[in-house]
Chain A
Amino acid sequence: MEFQEQYEAIWREERARVLATLIHLLGSFELAEEAVQEAFATALTNWPMSGVPQNPRAWLVSTGRNKAIDGLRRRVVEQRRADEASRGGGWVAAGEAVAPEQHARLEAEEETVADDRLRLIFTCCHPALAEEAQVALTLRTLGGLTTDAIARAYLKPLATVAQRLVRAQAKIRDAKIPYEVPRREQLTERLDAVLLVLYLIFNEGYGASPSEPERQKLCAEAIRLARLLLELLPAESEVHGLLALMLLQDARRGARFTAEGDLVLLEQQDREAWDAAAIEEGSRLAAEALRAGVGVYGLQAAIAAVHDHARQAGETDWTQIVGLYDVLLRLQPSPVVELNYAVAVAMERGAAAGLALIEALRGLDDYVPYWAAKGQMLLWSGQVDAAGVAYSRAQELALAAGDSAQERFFRQRLAQSVSSRPPAG
């Protein structure tokens, strides 16, 4: 293997783990990020001559740690005059003098073999941080994305994302958000927050059109992070469920858009273009998830699996899907789940049954899929005018959200619903 390739592989595999350990050792996100950068920079200059060390991770941790200690010593000398603020231990600011006990910790701590990435995940996804900060911090520290790449993926100004990250790291330090895996009684609740962050990242990528490749890459990143989480928490059924759900949805990637970038509905997708390996792995994980316990991600994964296993849209087992949505509704009642349930009922029992359920729904007036589903069912029940109203509402909402692929899709639907009008007289 070429050195460059080998180096990049080590960067991909070890960076997050080295960073997580250095945050633990140094008690600071900022110091640890600097130290990781310096360690990899040193590796890049040293390794071509000395050869790649036996245990690159240990080498990177100790190099990063030594660099940080050197830097801290310099800063301590510079700041000796200033009377040091008693911060109560724990997190320290990058430019701040370091308390003596922290020096002791750095000197005494052996090369830790424990994997600190789980602490890192829980700290990044702490509910005391704003959701978008959790997302950015997770992508940056665990995903290794640069601030610039995150800004491009989320179509946000670089300064906004950078400020968000700085503020989140400052809150971790100043409010002393612990660098710990939550206690057992808090674990389920806190894990929900982690799963949500990963699913939000996935959905951001899933909602992207082919003209936004940077955003689309978030799907692969979310899957990678879910795999990591599963490796760290192999006993948690919902982690299986989330990874399964992502794989089963992402399996349809190649069939979701036309060459022109238009959305293709699930029932019209070319099922040959679906990723069979991803479907196989996703289905296996979904089955494992549900065997271990019924959860919202496991159920959604099971629903996706039923879709993915139908060789044609007409062969979809809607009875099973209705049953799964029924359980999901009891576990997590929400108007969105009710809408999906109504669509499945319409497919199983006919448009009238679905329409009755949809018309009883409240609170979805600004939700594009609601108007899309309503339009479809009205069309099936021959209420062409009402269907036209629903589709034009969906089109308006997609336009307002700046989603051009969806907007075009509903414009076409609207045109079709008008042309399907029965001739007058």
Chain B
Amino acid sequence: MQYLLLIYDNERERMAMSQEELLPMYRGYFTLRNDLEAAGKYVGGNPLEATETATTVRVRNGKRTVTDGPFAETKEQLGGYFLVEAKDLDDAIDIAARIPGATFGSIEVRPIRPLAKLPD
């Protein structure tokens, strides 16, 4: 079963971190990704650019509105994600607890809902 692990943290605080603080974190991500791949649990994952680069799109009555943002108004923002194959929720929680961001931000664990095949 697949789980999406959404990594939330305070983006301003993270960006203010020094190189010495960031380096072990990057290493942690690198090791985790390698371990997950070796265990056949890695499906995908990426860090995201800052919320300043975000764009919101809505379509109402066929009309498209595109706006800048959302910005970092809430305390924590989505900063990256992993998509993993896990045995069950406990397995997914174990993986989430190894994400370096979990030590200063939080990880939201969401099961992927399998889609039924559409009729041809």
Contacts and interface: CB of A to CB of B under 8 A. Distances in A.
Given A87-B114, A175-B111, A128 B89 contact: yes
Nearest to A183: B90
A88 interface: yes
B116 A83 contact: yes
B3 to A, nearest CB: 8
Contacts of B1: 87-88, 90, 176
Contacts, number: 37
A182 B111 contact: no
Interface residues of B, number: 14
A85 interface: yes
B88 interface: yes
A83 B93 CA distance: 31
Contacts of A174: 111, 113
A180 interface: yes
Contacts of B87: 178
Contact of B88 (A83, A85, A177): A177
B6 to A, nearest CB: 14
B62 interface: no
Contact of A85 (B89, B93, B114): B114
A126 B89 CA distance: 10
A268 interface: no
A128 B117 CA distance: 30
B114 A83 contact: no
Given A88-B1, A128-B89, A176 B111 contact: yes
A74 B30 CA distance: 50
B94 to A, nearest CB: 9
Contacts of A178: 87-90
Interface in A62-106: 82-88, 90
Contacts of B117: 83
Contacts of A175: 89, 109, 111
Contacts of A87: 1, 114
Q: Which of A83, A176, A180, A182 has the most CB of B within 10 A?
A: A176
Interface in A118-159: 126, 128
A176 B88 contact: yes
Contacts of A126: 89
Contacts of A128: 89, 93
Contact of B90 (A82, A83, A85, A180): A180
Interface string A167-186: 00000001111101010001
Given A128-B89, A128-B93, A182-B90, A83 B115 contact: no
Interface in A174-204: 174-178, 180, 182, 186
A87 B1 CA distance: 8
A90 B89 CA distance: 11
A186 B87 CA distance: 16
Contacts of B114: 85-88
Contacts of B88: 90, 176-178
A320 to B, nearest CB: 41
Interface in A344-390: none
A153 to B, nearest CB: 29
A176 B1 CA distance: 8
A177 B115 contact: no
A130 to B, nearest CB: 15
Given A90-B1, A175-B89, A83 B111 contact: no
A168 B51 CA distance: 34
Contacts of A84: 116
A175 B116 CA distance: 17
A69 B57 CA distance: 49
A226 to B, nearest CB: 25
A126 to B, nearest CB: 8
Interface in B1-27: 1
A174 to B, nearest CB: 6
13 contacts: A83-B116, A83-B119, A84-B116, A85-B114, A88-B1, A88-B114, A90-B88, A174-B113, A175-B89, A176-B88, A178-B88, A178-B89, A182-B90
Interface of A: 82-88, 90, 126, 128, 174-178, 180, 182, 186
Q: Which 9 A-B pairs have the closest CB atoms?
A: A178-B88, A88-B1, A85-B116, A176-B88, A175-B111, A177-B89, A83-B117, A175-B89, A178-B90
Given A82-B116, A85-B114, A87-B1, 4 more contacts: A175-B89, A175-B111, A176-B88, A178-B88
